[in-house]
Amino acid sequence: MLQQALQSEGVEEVAQVNANTKDLDLLSVEYMARLEKLELPNTKVKLMEKLLRTVINDFKKVNKIKGVDFTKRLNALVTRYNDRSDNAIFAQEVLDEVAKQMAELLKEVNKEKKSFKELGITYEEKAFYDILKEIAHKFGFEYPEDKLLTLSADVKKMVDDKSKYTDWTNRSAIKAELQMDLILILAKHGYPPVPQDDVFKEIFEQAENFKKYNSVDDEEDSTLEQHVYKLYPQQEEERMSGMAAEDRVEYNVTR
Protein backbone atom coordinates (compact mmCIF):
# COMPACT_ATOMS: atom_id res chain seq x y z
CA MET A 1 0.00 0.00 0.00
CA LEU A 2 2.82 2.39 0.90
CA GLN A 3 4.67 1.55 -2.31
CA GLN A 4 1.51 2.31 -4.31
CA ALA A 5 1.19 5.64 -2.53
CA LEU A 6 4.81 6.53 -3.30
CA GLN A 7 4.34 5.63 -6.94
CA SER A 8 1.15 7.68 -7.20
CA GLU A 9 2.96 10.70 -5.74
CA GLY A 10 5.95 10.23 -8.05
CA VAL A 11 8.52 9.96 -5.25
CA GLU A 12 9.48 6.30 -5.48
CA GLU A 13 12.94 7.30 -6.79
CA VAL A 14 13.62 9.22 -3.58
CA ALA A 15 13.39 6.03 -1.53
CA GLN A 16 16.21 4.59 -3.68
CA VAL A 17 18.56 7.58 -3.47
CA ASN A 18 22.08 6.88 -2.20
CA ALA A 19 25.65 8.18 -2.39
CA ASN A 20 26.07 6.69 -5.87
CA THR A 21 23.08 8.53 -7.32
CA LYS A 22 24.25 10.53 -10.33
CA ASP A 23 23.66 14.30 -10.41
CA LEU A 24 22.68 14.20 -6.75
CA ASP A 25 22.79 17.98 -6.29
CA LEU A 26 20.40 18.63 -9.17
CA LEU A 27 18.10 15.73 -8.39
CA SER A 28 17.92 16.54 -4.66
CA VAL A 29 16.08 19.79 -5.44
CA GLU A 30 13.60 17.99 -7.69
CA TYR A 31 13.12 15.17 -5.18
CA MET A 32 12.56 17.55 -2.27
CA ALA A 33 9.89 19.40 -4.28
CA ARG A 34 8.10 16.08 -4.84
CA LEU A 35 8.33 15.20 -1.16
CA GLU A 36 6.80 18.50 -0.11
CA LYS A 37 3.64 17.48 -1.97
CA LEU A 38 3.49 14.04 -0.36
CA GLU A 39 0.35 13.60 1.75
CA LEU A 40 1.86 10.98 4.08
CA PRO A 41 3.40 13.20 6.81
CA ASN A 42 5.53 10.61 8.61
CA THR A 43 6.76 9.07 5.37
CA LYS A 44 7.47 12.56 4.05
CA VAL A 45 9.69 13.46 7.00
CA LYS A 46 11.55 10.14 6.95
CA LEU A 47 12.25 10.38 3.21
CA MET A 48 13.32 14.01 3.60
CA GLU A 49 15.73 12.94 6.33
CA LYS A 50 17.14 10.17 4.11
CA LEU A 51 17.62 12.55 1.20
CA LEU A 52 19.23 15.23 3.37
CA ARG A 53 21.55 12.77 5.09
CA THR A 54 22.74 11.46 1.73
CA VAL A 55 23.38 14.95 0.39
CA ILE A 56 25.11 16.13 3.58
CA ASN A 57 27.31 13.02 3.86
CA ASP A 58 28.41 13.53 0.27
CA PHE A 59 29.26 17.17 1.05
CA LYS A 60 31.14 16.13 4.19
CA LYS A 61 33.58 14.10 2.09
CA VAL A 62 35.06 17.39 0.87
CA ASN A 63 34.10 19.93 3.52
CA LYS A 64 34.12 18.22 6.90
CA ILE A 65 33.41 21.22 9.14
CA LYS A 66 30.38 22.42 7.18
CA GLY A 67 29.15 18.85 6.77
CA VAL A 68 29.31 18.28 10.53
CA ASP A 69 27.41 21.53 11.15
CA PHE A 70 24.62 20.55 8.75
CA THR A 71 24.48 17.07 10.30
CA LYS A 72 23.93 18.57 13.76
CA ARG A 73 21.10 20.72 12.43
CA LEU A 74 19.48 17.75 10.73
CA ASN A 75 19.79 15.67 13.90
CA ALA A 76 18.08 18.44 15.88
CA LEU A 77 15.13 18.34 13.46
CA VAL A 78 14.94 14.55 13.73
CA THR A 79 14.96 14.81 17.53
CA ARG A 80 12.15 17.33 17.40
CA TYR A 81 10.20 14.97 15.15
CA ASN A 82 10.77 12.02 17.50
CA ASP A 83 9.79 14.05 20.58
CA ARG A 84 6.51 15.31 19.14
CA SER A 85 3.43 15.25 21.37
CA ASP A 86 0.80 12.51 21.29
CA ASN A 87 -1.78 15.23 20.76
CA ALA A 88 -2.86 14.75 17.15
CA ILE A 89 -3.27 18.44 16.34
CA PHE A 90 0.02 19.48 17.95
CA ALA A 91 1.82 16.51 16.41
CA GLN A 92 0.64 17.55 12.94
CA GLU A 93 1.94 21.07 13.52
CA VAL A 94 5.34 19.66 14.44
CA LEU A 95 5.37 17.41 11.37
CA ASP A 96 4.55 20.32 9.10
CA GLU A 97 7.17 22.56 10.69
CA VAL A 98 9.89 19.88 10.60
CA ALA A 99 9.16 19.11 6.95
CA LYS A 100 9.31 22.82 6.13
CA GLN A 101 12.64 23.27 7.91
CA MET A 102 14.11 20.18 6.24
CA ALA A 103 13.22 21.62 2.83
CA GLU A 104 14.90 24.89 3.84
CA LEU A 105 17.95 23.02 5.13
CA LEU A 106 18.45 21.38 1.74
CA LYS A 107 18.36 24.82 0.10
CA GLU A 108 21.02 26.01 2.54
CA VAL A 109 23.24 22.99 1.85
CA ASN A 110 23.03 23.49 -1.91
CA LYS A 111 23.65 27.23 -1.51
CA GLU A 112 26.69 26.53 0.65
CA LYS A 113 28.03 24.10 -1.96
CA LYS A 114 28.06 26.95 -4.50
CA SER A 115 29.45 29.62 -2.16
CA PHE A 116 33.05 29.08 -3.34
CA LYS A 117 32.21 30.92 -6.59
CA GLU A 118 31.66 34.21 -4.77
CA LEU A 119 35.12 33.96 -3.23
CA GLY A 120 36.90 33.17 -6.50
CA ILE A 121 38.30 29.87 -5.25
CA THR A 122 37.55 26.22 -6.01
CA TYR A 123 35.05 23.92 -4.31
CA GLU A 124 37.87 22.01 -2.60
CA GLU A 125 39.77 25.16 -1.57
CA LYS A 126 36.58 26.43 0.12
CA ALA A 127 36.75 23.46 2.51
CA PHE A 128 40.15 24.61 3.78
CA TYR A 129 39.00 28.23 3.78
CA ASP A 130 36.10 27.30 6.07
CA ILE A 131 38.21 25.38 8.57
CA LEU A 132 40.88 28.11 8.67
CA LYS A 133 38.28 30.84 9.16
CA GLU A 134 36.41 28.85 11.80
CA ILE A 135 39.63 28.23 13.73
CA ALA A 136 40.50 31.94 13.69
CA HIS A 137 37.07 32.71 15.10
CA LYS A 138 37.19 29.88 17.64
CA PHE A 139 40.62 30.82 19.02
CA GLY A 140 40.03 34.57 18.83
CA PHE A 141 42.68 35.80 16.42
CA GLU A 142 42.45 37.97 13.31
CA TYR A 143 43.71 36.88 9.90
CA PRO A 144 43.25 39.03 6.75
CA GLU A 145 40.68 37.79 4.22
CA ASP A 146 43.02 38.09 1.21
CA LYS A 147 45.71 36.08 2.98
CA LEU A 148 43.12 33.51 4.05
CA LEU A 149 42.11 32.92 0.42
CA THR A 150 45.75 32.53 -0.65
CA LEU A 151 46.54 30.18 2.23
CA SER A 152 43.47 28.05 1.49
CA ALA A 153 44.58 27.56 -2.11
CA ASP A 154 48.17 26.74 -1.09
CA VAL A 155 47.10 24.22 1.57
CA LYS A 156 44.74 22.46 -0.83
CA LYS A 157 47.45 22.31 -3.51
CA MET A 158 49.94 20.80 -1.09
CA VAL A 159 47.51 18.26 0.38
CA ASP A 160 46.41 17.23 -3.11
CA ASP A 161 49.97 16.33 -4.15
CA LYS A 162 49.38 12.67 -5.08
CA SER A 163 52.98 11.97 -6.07
CA LYS A 164 54.44 13.12 -2.75
CA TYR A 165 51.86 11.52 -0.46
CA THR A 166 51.30 8.22 -2.23
CA ASP A 167 49.72 5.52 -0.07
CA TRP A 168 49.59 7.97 2.84
CA THR A 169 46.76 6.13 4.62
CA ASN A 170 48.86 2.98 5.07
CA ARG A 171 52.20 4.58 5.94
CA SER A 172 52.65 6.52 9.17
CA ALA A 173 55.85 8.13 7.85
CA ILE A 174 53.98 9.64 4.90
CA LYS A 175 51.21 10.90 7.19
CA ALA A 176 53.81 12.45 9.50
CA GLU A 177 55.41 14.15 6.50
CA LEU A 178 52.02 15.54 5.48
CA GLN A 179 51.51 16.93 8.97
CA MET A 180 54.96 18.50 9.03
CA ASP A 181 54.47 20.07 5.59
CA LEU A 182 51.16 21.51 6.78
CA ILE A 183 52.85 23.07 9.82
CA LEU A 184 55.56 24.57 7.61
CA ILE A 185 53.15 26.06 5.07
CA LEU A 186 50.99 27.51 7.86
CA ALA A 187 54.09 29.00 9.50
CA LYS A 188 55.17 30.47 6.16
CA HIS A 189 51.85 32.30 5.97
CA GLY A 190 51.93 33.35 9.63
CA TYR A 191 48.93 31.22 10.59
CA PRO A 192 48.06 31.16 13.40
CA PRO A 193 49.84 34.23 14.82
CA VAL A 194 50.47 32.25 18.02
CA PRO A 195 51.14 28.48 17.49
CA GLN A 196 48.56 26.24 19.17
CA ASP A 197 48.44 22.46 18.92
CA ASP A 198 44.64 22.40 18.78
CA VAL A 199 44.73 24.60 15.68
CA PHE A 200 46.99 22.19 13.85
CA LYS A 201 44.92 19.20 14.98
CA GLU A 202 41.72 20.54 13.39
CA ILE A 203 43.46 21.38 10.13
CA PHE A 204 45.05 17.91 10.05
CA GLU A 205 41.59 16.37 10.41
CA GLN A 206 40.26 18.31 7.42
CA ALA A 207 43.36 17.40 5.38
CA GLU A 208 43.01 13.71 6.24
CA ASN A 209 39.29 13.81 5.47
CA PHE A 210 40.06 15.34 2.06
CA LYS A 211 42.81 12.82 1.30
CA LYS A 212 40.67 9.88 2.42
CA TYR A 213 37.77 10.52 0.06
CA ASN A 214 39.90 11.95 -2.74
CA SER A 215 41.91 8.72 -2.76
CA VAL A 216 38.70 6.66 -2.94
CA ASP A 217 37.52 8.67 -5.95
CA ASP A 218 40.86 8.16 -7.70
CA GLU A 219 40.71 4.41 -7.09
CA GLU A 220 37.13 4.24 -8.40
CA ASP A 221 38.12 6.19 -11.54
CA SER A 222 41.07 3.88 -12.10
CA THR A 223 38.93 0.76 -11.60
CA LEU A 224 36.32 2.07 -14.04
CA GLU A 225 38.97 2.85 -16.63
CA GLN A 226 40.44 -0.66 -16.36
CA HIS A 227 36.95 -2.15 -16.65
CA VAL A 228 36.29 -0.17 -19.84
CA TYR A 229 39.56 -1.29 -21.39
CA LYS A 230 38.76 -4.90 -20.48
CA LEU A 231 35.41 -4.65 -22.25
CA TYR A 232 36.82 -2.74 -25.21
CA PRO A 233 40.44 -3.82 -25.69
CA GLN A 234 40.71 -1.80 -28.91
CA GLN A 235 40.48 1.38 -26.82
CA GLU A 236 43.47 0.27 -24.76
CA GLU A 237 45.42 -0.37 -27.98
CA GLU A 238 44.50 3.10 -29.26
CA ARG A 239 45.50 4.66 -25.94
CA MET A 240 48.88 2.91 -25.90
CA SER A 241 49.50 3.84 -29.54
CA GLY A 242 48.69 7.46 -28.74
CA MET A 243 51.08 7.48 -25.77
CA ALA A 244 53.83 5.96 -27.90
CA ALA A 245 53.29 8.63 -30.55
CA GLU A 246 53.50 11.38 -27.93
CA ASP A 247 56.75 9.89 -26.61
CA ARG A 248 58.21 9.93 -30.14
CA VAL A 249 57.22 13.54 -30.66
CA GLU A 250 58.67 14.60 -27.33
CA TYR A 251 61.87 12.67 -28.08
CA ASN A 252 62.30 14.35 -31.48
CA VAL A 253 61.71 17.79 -30.02
CA THR A 254 64.11 17.49 -27.12
CA ARG A 255 66.81 15.43 -28.77
For residue 6, count other CB atoms closer than 10 A to its CB.
19
On whether residue 35 sits in a domain, the answer given is yes
Give the number of domains in the chain: 2
Shared-domain flag, residues 98 and 138:
no
Residue 201 included in any domain:
yes
> Is 240 a domain residue?
no
Q: Are residues 127 and 194 in the same domain?
A: yes
Query: Tens digits of per-residue pLDDT, 78-111?
Result: 999 998 877 777 788 999 999 999 999 999 999 9
Residues 131, 35 share a domain: no
Note whether residue 237 is domain-resident.
Answer: no
pTM: 0.76
Q: Write down which residue in 92, 114, 136 finishes a domain.
A: 114
Statement to judge: residues 222 and 129 lie in one domain: yes
> In what helix (H) or strand (E) does residue 144 lie, and over which residues does it extend?
none
The long-range contacts involving 112-121, CB below 8 angstroms and separated by at least 24 positions, are: 112/59, 112/66, 112/70, 113/25, 113/59, 119/149, 120/149, 121/149, 121/152, 121/153
Q: What is the mean pLDDT of residues 69-78?
A: 97
The residue range of the domain holding 71 is: 2-114
Together in a domain, 68 and 138: no
Residues 136 and 214 reside in one and the same domain: yes
